[in-house]
Amino acid sequence: MPTAVMEDYLECIYDIIQTKGYAGTNDIADKLDIHPSTVSRMIKKLDEKGYINYEPYRGLTLTEAGELIGKRISSNHKLLEEFFEILGIEDEEIIDQDIEGIEHHLSSKTIDNILALVDFFTENPARLEEFNKFKSGH
């Protein structure tokens, strides 16, 4: 089982690869706001665990196992952003902090239910308005 920190790296690498095709150490360091030497150490670890294909001084890509995890965490993150928007949470710091914590700990059953709720409110804006009214009187 990868740790939450490993999952964050795989999520980050996955997102970079979606736009660039590969991820460099500096891309990851920039995105995670971590020193490149720390990133290099984690990359070696992820390589040993079989999550990435790493060639020093060249870009890295994800193995099948690494991509599965990166993709899952990345899509959890995006779904939670939509969910938090529906909840009306606007403080970016709280959003980031909470999502970074929760995204690692959701079962697929819970994800399915959150997804249904997001879809429901997206397709029924009048209901969302009702909910917002109810909430403001709470």
Alpha-carbon dihedral 76, 31, 26, 69, rounded to 10 degrees: -10
| Residue number, 72 or 77, with CB nearest to Mn ion | 77
Judged by CB under 5 A, the chain residues 70 through 99 that form the site for Mn ion are 77
What is the smallest separation between the CB atom of 131 and Mn ion, expressed in angstroms? 26
Q: Should residue 104 be labelled a site residue for Mn ion when binding is judged by CB under 5 A?
A: no
What is the smallest separation between the CB atom of 126 and Mn ion, expressed in angstroms? 32
Distance, CA of 101 to CA of 71 (rounded, Å)? 17
What is the smallest separation between the CB atom of 13 and Mn ion, expressed in angstroms? 12
Q: What is the DSSP letter of 60?
A: B
Question: What is the binding site for Mn ion (CB under 5 A)?
Answer: 77
